[in-house]
Structure 1
Amino acid sequence: MKKIIFRTLGGKGIGYGHFYRCLSLAKAIRSLDLNIHIIFITNDELVDLIYNNGFEYLVSNDLAEDDGLIENINPVLFIFDSYLGTDEYLNRIKEKTKLMLIDDNNNIYRSTIPDIIYNGNIFAEELRYREVKSQLRLLGPKYLIMKEEYWDNEANTLAKEGVLITTGGTDEYKIAVKILEEIKELDIKTKVVIGPGYRDDYIKKIEHFKTNNIELIYKPNSLKNHISSSKIVVTAGGSTIYEVLSQKSIPIIFSIADNQDLACRTLNNMGVEYLGKYPDIDYSKLAKVIEKLSFIDTEDMFISIFDIVNNNGAKLVAKNILENIIE
Structure 2
Amino acid sequence: MNFVIRLDISKEIGYGHFYRSITLARSLRSSNDSIYLIAKSIPEHLKIWLSKFGIKFFLLGSNITSGSIEDLNHTKSFCELIGNPDLLIIDHYNIDIKFEKNIRNFVNKILVIDDLANRNHDCDILLDQNLRHLENRYEKLLPKKSKVFLGPKYFFFREEFYDANLSKSVRNKLKNILIFMGGGDNSYEIIKVIKSIKYINSKEIYWTLITGKDIQDINKIILLTKKIKNFKLITHTDEISKIISSSDLAIGTCGISAWERCILGLPSLVMITAENQKEDAEILEEMNAVINLGRSDKVLGKDIAKNITKLINNDNLLKSMSIASFKVLEGHTKAINFLKKEIILTL
- Per the alignment, residue 184 of structure 2 pairs with 170
Q: Flag the 1:276–1:117 CA change in 2: closer, same or farther, 3 A.
A: same
Match for residue 35 of structure 1 among 32, 52, 55: 32
Please tell me the root mean square deviation across aligned C-alpha atoms, in Å.
2.4
- Per the alignment, residue 4 of structure 2 pairs with 5
The answer to whether the Cα contact below 8 Å between 1:234 and 1:252 also exists between their aligned partners in 2 is: yes
Structure 1 position 129 matched with structure 2 position 148: no
- Per the alignment, residue 76 of structure 1 pairs with 86
Q: Distance in 2 between matches of 1:133 and 1:152?
A: 39
Instruction: Give the structure-1-normalised TM-score.
Output: 0.88
Helix, strand or coil for the counterpart of 1:319? helix
| Cα offset, 1:190, TM superposition | 1.2
Q: Distance in 2 between matches of 1:308 and 1:137?
A: 20
- Give the total of aligned pairs: 318
Structure 1 position 296 matched with structure 2 position 318: no
Helix, strand or coil for the counterpart of 1:180? helix
Q: Which string of whole-angstrom CA distances, capped at 9 and with x for unpartnered residues, describes residues 169-203 of structure 1?
A: 1234511001111123532211111212212xx11
Q: Residues 1-327 of structure 1 correspond to what in structure 2 (within 5 A)?
A: 2-30=1-29, 33-46=30-43, 48-53=45-50, 54-61=54-61, 62=64, 63-64=71-72, 65-73=74-82, 74-97=84-107, 98-107=109-118, 109-111=119-121, 113-123=122-132, 126=135, 128-130=137-139, 132-151=143-162, 156=167, 161-172=175-186, 174-186=188-200, 187=202, 188-199=205-216, 202-208=217-223, 209-210=225-226, 211-271=228-288, 272-294=290-312, 295-297=314-316, 298-309=318-329, 312=333, 316-322=338-344, 324-326=345-347
Q: Flag the 1:136–1:22 CA change in 2: closer, same or farther, 3 A.
A: same
The answer to whether the Cα contact below 8 Å between 1:196 and 1:219 also exists between their aligned partners in 2 is: yes
Q: Which runs of 5+ in 2 are unaligned?
A: 65-70
Q: Flag the 1:155–1:279 CA change in 2: closer, same or farther, 3 A.
A: closer
Q: Flag the 1:28–1:36 CA change in 2: closer, same or farther, 3 A.
A: same
Q: Distance in 2 between matches of 1:41 and 1:311?
A: 29
Q: Which string of whole-angstrom CA distances, capped at 9 and with x for unpartnered residues, describes residues 123-176 of structure 1?
A: 276352217442222222221122221136655178973211111112345110
The answer to whether the Cα contact below 8 Å between 1:151 and 1:311 also exists between their aligned partners in 2 is: no
Once the two structures are aligned, what percentage of the paired residues are identical? 28
The answer to whether the Cα contact below 8 Å between 1:182 and 1:286 also exists between their aligned partners in 2 is: yes
- Per the alignment, residue 68 of structure 2 pairs with none
Helix, strand or coil for the counterpart of 2:106? coil
The answer to whether the Cα contact below 8 Å between 2:192 and 2:300 also exists between their aligned partners in 1 is: no
| Cα offset, 1:76, TM superposition | 1.5
Helix, strand or coil for the counterpart of 1:137? strand
Q: Distance in 2 between matches of 1:253 and 1:296?
A: 19
Q: Distance in 1 between matches of 2:148 and 2:321?
A: 33
Q: Distance in 2 between matches of 1:229 and 1:151?
A: 15
Q: Which runs of 5+ in 1 are unaligned?
A: none
Q: Distance in 2 between matches of 1:124 and 1:139?
A: 11
Q: Distance in 1 between matches of 2:154 and 2:164?
A: 15
